[in-house]
Amino acid sequence: MNRRRLPKAGTYQIVPSVLSADFANLAQEIAEVTATGIEVVHLDVMDGHFVPNITVGPPVVAWIRKCTNAVLDTHLMITNPEKYAERFAEAGSDHITFHVETVDDPAAFVRYLRGLGVTVGVTLNPDTPVEAVEAVAPLCDMVLVMTVNPGFGGQSFMDDAARKCIRLRQIVGPDVRIEVDGGIDPTTAGIVKGYGADTFVAGNAIFGQSDRPAAIAAIRTAIEKG
């Protein structure tokens, strides 16, 4: 499989989450954002166990793969990611992020994911301390800091959780991306940039708006100024 790689660390990336998009028109929704220069698209996978919501599985990822060249950043909010990761890789996910709360041996799971050919991310819930990812974060391409409790789009940004980016940046240095997810909009994007984030997931602030190019431009301006 021809895998796309995450843009190299050191560049700011806005990553639209299709959770707030029109799922009956996903190809068109994704094309609209990639036309503005977006390189990475965020896919939220929820199982109704790890989080109280259900979204999409590998078949949907496979169809999305056929309709875009964007890097598919797949956020697994599922128990037993060991059981399903291979199917997401086969479906065309380029990058897979798992929750540290869901595996017994995070470092071993990172090695396993790399063997599938994908780039790797680890994430932690707002209530999970930085120490839980301290050892594994430097082994990853990206660390995802959840700035809401996962499960739904459109929730309010949690500043205390976002501040974990500061310590994580000290731990991972400049070569690992730090992504934030939850309640990111033009105001909060500027704040998390200040904490050391370089990768900004936004669902409602992009797909919840009627003018998506303007919504992306507003976040981009905030990051450049922030």
Which positions lie near ligand DX5, rule CB under 6 A?
17, 19-20, 42, 44, 75, 148, 150-155, 181-184, 201-205
If one counts every other C-beta atom within 10 angstroms of the C-beta of residue 16, the result is: 30
Task: Decide whether 138 or 220 has the Cβ nearer to ligand DX5.
Answer: 220
Active site residues per annotation? 44, 181
Q: Where are the alpha helices (DSSP H) in the chain?
A: 26-34, 58-67, 81-91, 106-115, 131-134, 159-162, 164-172, 186-195, 204-207, 212-225
Task: Decide whether 53 or 187 has the Cβ nearer to Zn ion.
Answer: 53
Task: Decide whether 54 or 108 has the Cβ nearer to Zn ion.
Answer: 54
Kindly state the smallest distance separating residue 44's Cβ from ligand DX5, in Å. Answer: 5
Helix (H, G, I), strand (E, B) or coil at 209: coil
* Distance of alpha carbon 168 from alpha carbon 18, whole angstroms: 26
| Stretch touching Zn ion by CB under 5 A, among 48-56, 113-121, 179-187, 218-226 | 179-187
Interface with Zn ion (CB under 5 A), residue total 3
Q: Give the one entry of ligand DX5, Zn ion, none that residue 154 binds, where binding means its C-beta sits below a cut-off of 5 to 8 angstroms depending on kind.
A: ligand DX5
Q: Is residue 75 within 8 Å of 42, Cβ to Cβ?
A: yes
Kindly state the smallest distance separating residue 83's Cβ from Zn ion, in Å. Answer: 20
- Residue 181 found at the interface with Zn ion (CB under 5 A): yes
What are the C-alpha distances in Å from 182 to residues 27, 70, 148, 190?
23, 21, 5, 14
Kindly state the smallest distance separating residue 16's Cβ from ligand DX5, in Å. Answer: 9
The residue to which tokens 């940004």 are assigned: 157
Q: Is residue 119 within 8 Å of 143, Cβ to Cβ?
A: no
Q: Which of 200, 201, 195, 137 lies closest to 166, judged by CA?
A: 195
Task: Decide whether 98 or 109 has the Cβ nearer to Zn ion.
Answer: 98
Each residue 71-90 as x (binds Zn ion by CB under 5 A) or -, in order, gives ----x---------------
Residues near Zn ion (CB under 5 A)? 44, 75, 181
